Amino acid sequence: MALPITYPDELPVSMLRAEITEAIKKHQVVVVAGATGSGKTTQIPKMCLELGRTSIAHTQPRRIAARSVAERIAEELKVELGQEVGYQVRFTDTSSKRTRVKVMTDGILLNAMQFDRDLKQYDTIIIDEAHERSLNIDFLLGYLKQLLPRRPDLKLIITSATIDPESFSRHFDNAPIIEVSGRTFPIEIRYRPVNQERQEASDPDQETTADDYIDAVVSALRELQAEPDGDVLVFLSGESEIRDAQEVITGASVSGALMKQLEVLPLYGRLSASEQHRVFDQRSKPGVKRRIILATNVAETSLTIPNIKYVIDAGTARISRYSTRLKVQRLPIEAISQASANQRAGRAGRTSPGTVIRLYSEEDFKARPEFTDPEILRTNLAAVILQAANLGLGDLAKFPFLQPPDAKGVKDGRGLLLELGAIKATESEISLTPLGQQIARLPIEPRFARMLLESRQHGITREVLIVTAGLTIQDPRERPVENRERADLLHSRFTDSGSDFLTLVNLWNYLEDQQQQLSGSAFRRLCRSEHLNFLRIREWQDLVRQLSSVIKPLGLSIGPKRVNPEGIHKSILSGLISQIGLRVDPKPTFVNGKPQRARPSREYLGANGKRFFVFPGSALAKKPPAAIMSAELVETSQLFARMNASIDPAWVESLAAELCNRSISDPHWEKSQGAAIATERVTIFGLTLVAARKVQYSRHDALHARELFIRHALVAGEWDSKQGFERENRKLLEQLESEAERARRPDLIPDEEDQFRFFNNRVPLDVFSTRSFEGWWRKAKLEKPQLLNMTRANLKEVSIEAPDENEFPGSWITSGHQFELQYRFAPGEIEDGVNISIPVAVLPSLEAAEFDWLVPGMRLELVTELLRSLPKAIRRNAVPATDWAKKLLAELPEQPSGSLVERLAADLQAQIGARVQGTDFDFEKLPPALRMTYSVIDQKGKQLASSLSLAELQQRFREQGRVEVAKVATKLHVELERQDLPGWDFEKLPEVLTTTSGNNTVNAYPSLVLRGSKVDLVVQSSKDEQIRQHRFAVAELVKREIPNPAKYVESHLKPEEKLAISALSYQSFGKFVEDVIVALALSEIELKNSEGLIFNRADFESIRDSVQAKVLEVCFDTVSSCAKISNANRDALRAISSAKAIDFLSELSAEKQHIEQLLGGNFVSATGLSRLPRLPVYLRAIEVRVNKLQENPNKDRLAQAELNQALQAYESAGGRLPLPSHASAEIVRARWLLEELRVSLFAQTLGTSEPVSVQRIRKVLAG
């Protein structure tokens, strides 16, 4: 049946009908460019029908446009909609077999390619509004570019606004362009730039919402008040800017700054339908002369507002743009393109001449880009890539797009599909996975499709379908400006504090319940009263219903209501893996060094380093959880997460195991686990899901886990499964180690590698833990019970022979003592070599000389190194050292006797003819292995200390040793020790008490000890200590029994003698006489026993009587000596005082200290009666030195350097100044030799009492 085709004369396109139809006949592709209102959308399909085309696909970018265009064409053709003319949008198809013109959204035609690759059902395709360059349009144009050569019968008409039609022509090999004029009137453009310095780095939101812009709008409105009547359309960038401007303009009208008869109306996407409808009414209020429409860019092309005569253009808009860096879709405020600015200006010239005021300069306009970037350059390409893969179009980079997408955007799209598990990608091709094939069959965004498919695992498809459909539509919850608080209060009933997604489910369930209870009109009234957009709710319900039918073939079914928040969130999370965030821990702060409790951070770290905040309108904003997922990350003034829910990071690991990066660190053996354990760190997109989790290392590296098991469990014994072979092996290893240490052959000790090799060759490869070993060994030992028993033969290739017991004995026997010896090979450590364990009770009685000989097996090496320690002048006569060591060793006795170095010195001197002394050998140069290491142990065998110096340990443990000896001695001699003896009230003291302790003989030495003014009876641990202490206590007891003759002696002194004594250090003359008595007693004790060991009453009384008899004579003699000493002291001090102290401050101070050392305290008894006459000489030597010092200071310095050598040797041997009362005989003798050396160095004319030198002092100290 022929259709009545007519063309309205008022439409510009009608006048070019012949030209257009002729072009369609001659060319496969025709581009028709015309402004809005030219009639190209409704008339070109009729021209195609007139040409005999029978199956026309006519695409529109929006569903509402597809429906309205179909209705208009059907009306003009006078046919019923759904017959010859029909339309198809998502989930709605009104076409039939009779349909010849089918109007559809571009997505419908794109989807048809899956089932009809060559689109054979159509002979003509019209792509309308191609200038919008949506993703679908660009994809269609690219596909048709490939399809047309295969379909020469197919006609393609591309209609566009006058925005860059040449690009479409070039894409299709210079297809003809037919331009159709629009119905417009003259427009006056005025530029009124805002006086604001814009900085590139400033916040765009702050720029575009600044008061300057609002003031500029008010100024422009004031300017337009002088113009004829007509409404004003103001283009602003966003909803918040519109609200701010509405408030200011209304206030200006009320205050009189603007005319009173104004009505200010907002227009943006989130407005309710009723509020949007007010914009299209000619007069919504009586008495209004002018309407001010404040709109976003929705009014550029999508809507035609009546009676608009003036346009105010702020020049900005929020433009959706995908950030390849942040992997988010942003809505930044940007300067619009020239094309968009012209589209806005065109709104003023529809019905009459108009005026446009641009709030930017003409130079700014000319500097702007000519066109807005196509969507393909501003969005995530995941859906396009998915469809391309589903259509088998190959590499998207080679697809003939009108304008190829950014390679980074393609990469991000592929990344999203890989994240969703939808594709398998190689360098050359992309293929869909089974999951991807299912995702491609769902006509929704890939992320949402993935959520629906995951819901099948948890049986909550209904709830997830509600959420995904709700995320697809515009939010049905309205917030009208005048009732915002009430709307928020009503909507809060549905809020779930932990999930915006569950809030949608709660809202759906509420609406579903109300709809079942109420009539249709009552339900609409409910929605209106509760600020819920009925049309959006109906769209939501329709979408859920339509999706329900689409998902059935995929095995998804809508069940009853279910309460499973975890399942819902896991399903949603499957599509939002890269949209998760972990709350950033706040940085610690300190006040006065104390950590302060930090407030929880509101910032989140997202995938690939993104940082964002929860959007203030989200239910999670007040109390941000530790981890969230977000359906939308949008950047405005900051990066915000708009639709969120709290999650458990562990869900991510289970849902996206293949995307997780797992790093294993710190593999180690854990005895308690009986297995090798490692620390696993799990990350995804740079986020740490698991920071440190213990895992079985065998799951990641079984061979290394087996090695750790062998080394730690079987070799080191770090396990709880005790086996018989382990005890036998340990016993053998200890025996072999002891033998190798004695032989000083560590290379023969079976080390860990030898043991590892032994087990490694016998334990199967699948044994890597205690449990797996026990399972294997339980069976294996029945067949080969000795399989894991070590022997000398199978453990190490080189066998170890037990060392000779004579060369390396296990114990040291001397003087009734038997000490255990141990051998260690530890170069550089003090324990290297031979270690002897000495009980603390025995320690004081030992002498080091015997131990210097070491054991016979080490003596050759010892003598060799001692020869190498000799001074060069001697050493050069005994080379090679090893040969000479063998010669000398042949002369040495088998059993140690005396000093080793003295014996070596004598033998070496006899053979080389040069003088050699024992002090020429330097034990300090020997390595620790060639010196005995002494270990002090207590009665329980616990080591208390160890050292290479026996003397050091004896000094350190002197008191403890004495206490231990006393404990042993008192077992046989109860209450032997006493304190504060009144006098000699006993007949006799034993010189030594001998007892046994273990394998050792312990000698205890009773001794009187002077402690202050009291005399105690104690048990000493050594004879040396007994000798040092005993005599002074005996002298004290003698002094107590001698009446003090001080008064008698003093009364017989000359005045100058009294004066001389008073100048000395004694407190009184009586104290001086007491000290003389002590000195006399010590002299008599030494005459009786050179060691001062007086033990019986008879000897004590004999000494007492002798002192009593001699005391007066000795006192007068001592007074005479001390008078000389006092005079010599006076002269020495006078010489020091008269010297130039500034020039010789150090030397003069040292001599003052020297005098104090000589004459301090009880110097008479400290010096001794026999040595007292030498003190004046020592003091005169000080006077002589001071006088000579000023004459020849260089000579004095040389003498002082030699004295310092002697002083250093004295102090190194334990000597102190002034001389302690209990010093050893060697220290005492060396101390007075130091004074003679001073005389020799500084006052030779005074003469010394005996030969003296630094070397002689050293020899005395050496003993």
- Any idea where the domains of the chain sit in the sequence? 12-180, 187-373, 577-590+598-658, 660-803, 811-965
Q: What is the mean pLDDT of residues 390-418?
A: 80
pLDDT for the residue 501: 95
| Chosen CATH of 187-373 out of 3.40.50.300, 2.60.40.10, 1.10.287.110, 3.30.420.10 | 3.40.50.300
Task: Compute CA distances 131 → 32, 135, 161, whole Å.
Answer: 11, 12, 6
**How many helical (H) and strand (E) elements, i.e. helices and strands, does the chain have?**
47, 40
Mean pLDDT of 815-840: 82
Identify the DSSP state of 1011: E
Mean pLDDT (whole number) for 560-568: 91
Q: What is the pLDDT of residues 568-585, one digit of tens each?
A: 999 999 999 999 999 998
The residue count of the chain comes to 1263
CATH of the domain spanning 12-180: 3.40.50.300
Same fold, 12-180 and 187-373: yes
DSSP 3-state of 1093: coil
Average pLDDT over residues 1189-1206: 89
Secondary element (H or E) of residue 105: strand 101-105
Gap between the Cα atoms of 1128 and 105, Å rounded: 128
Question: In this structure, what token pair is assigned to residue 1254?
Answer: 């630094």
Q: How far apart are CA 844 and CA 1020, in angstroms?
A: 9
Statement: residue 259 has pLDDT above 60: yes
Mean pLDDT of 27-38: 86
Q: Which of 340, 372, 240 is nearest to 637 (CA)?
A: 240
Looking at residue 740, its pLDDT comes to: 75
Is residue 550 very low, low, confident or very high in pLDDT (cuts 50, 70, 90)? confident
Q: What is the pLDDT of residues 307-323, one digit of tens each?
A: 889 999 999 987 777 65
Q: Is the peptide bond before 880 cis (omega within 30 degrees of 0)?
A: yes
pLDDT-based confidence at residue 201 (cuts at 50, 70, 90): very low
Q: Is the pLDDT of residue 303 over 60?
A: no
pLDDT beyond 90 at 474: no
> Is 284 a residue whose pLDDT tops 80?
no
CA 618 to CA 615: how far, in whole Å?
5
- Which helix (H) or strand (E) covers residue 240, if one does? helix 239-255
Q: Check residue 917 and give its pLDDT.
A: 86
Is the pLDDT at 197 greater than 50? The verdict is: no
603-606 and 580-583 beta bridge pairing: antiparallel
Q: Give the residues across from 668 on adjacent strands.
A: 677
Rounded to whole angstroms, the Cα distance separating 455 from 459 reads: 6
- Which pLDDT score is estimated for 969? 61
In this predicted model, what pLDDT tens digit does every residue of 1026-1047 receive, in sequence order? Answer: 888 898 999 999 999 999 999 9
pLDDT per residue over 491-549, tens digit each?
A: 999 999 999 999 999 999 999 999 999 888 899 899 989 999 887 888 788 788 888 88
Pairwise CA distance, residues 226 & 239, whole Å: 29
Mean pLDDT of the region 977-996: 85
- Residue 638's pLDDT is 86
pLDDT, tens digit, 9 for 90 and up, residues 933-943: 889 888 778 88
Identity of the amino acid at 39? G
Please identify which residue in the block is written with the tokens 């765009």.
204
Q: Tell me the pLDDT tens digit for each residue of 1059-1085.
A: 988 989 899 999 999 999 999 999 999
Confidence of residue 1137 (pLDDT cuts 50, 70, 90): confident
Nearest alpha-carbon partner for 1186 in 1133, 1236, 1117: 1133
Q: How confident is the model at residue 198 (pLDDT cuts 50, 70, 90)?
A: very low
Reference 637, options 1052, 333, 1040, 933; nearest CA is 333
Could you read off the pLDDT of 876-885 as tens digits, one per residue? 888 888 888 8
pTM for the whole structure: 0.50
Tokens of 185: 């009137």
pLDDT at 270: 60
What is the pLDDT at residue 302? 47
Per-residue pLDDT at 795: 78
Query: In this structure, are residues 1087 and 1157 in contact, taking their beta carbons and an 8 Å threshold?
Result: no
781, burial (CB in 10 Å: exposed 0-12, middle 13-18, buried 19+): middle
Residue 366 clears pLDDT 90, i.e. is over it: yes
Look over the chain and give the mean of its residue pLDDT values, rounded to a whole number.
86
Are 167 and 137 within 8 A, CB to CB?
Answer: no
Contact 1165, 1114 (CB under 8 A): no
* Backbone region of residue 548 per phi and psi (left: phi > 0; alpha: psi in -120 to 50; beta: other values): alpha
Task: With a cut of 50, say whether residue 379 has pLDDT above it.
Answer: yes
Give residue 90's pLDDT: 73
The Cα 772–Cα 782 span in angstroms is 17
- In this prediction, residue 381 carries a pLDDT of 78
Answer yes or no: is pLDDT of 1105 > 60: yes
Q: What is the mean pLDDT of residues 634-652?
A: 89
Cβ-contact 604, 583 below 8 angstroms: yes
Provide, rounded to the nearest whole percent, the portion of the chain with pLDDT above 70.
92
**For the residues 644-668, what does the mean pLDDT come to?**
93
- Return d(Cα 497, Cα 120) in angstroms, integer: 53
Is residue 723 over pLDDT 60? yes
**Distance in angstroms (rounded) separating the CA atoms of residues 1229 and 1191:** 33
Q: With residue 189 as reference, give the H or E element that holds it.
A: strand 187-191
- The pLDDT of 641-670, averaged and rounded, is 92
Residue 822: pLDDT band by 50, 70, 90 thresholds?
confident
Confidence at residue 234, expressed as pLDDT on a 0 to 100 scale? 96
Tell the residue number behind the tokens 């350059």, with chain if given. 377
Lowest-confidence segment of 192-206, 498-512, 1005-1019 by average pLDDT: 192-206
pLDDT at 920 > cutoff 90:
no
Chain mean position to CA 275: 56
Classify 998 in phi/psi space as left (phi over 0), alpha (psi -120 to 50) or beta. Answer: left
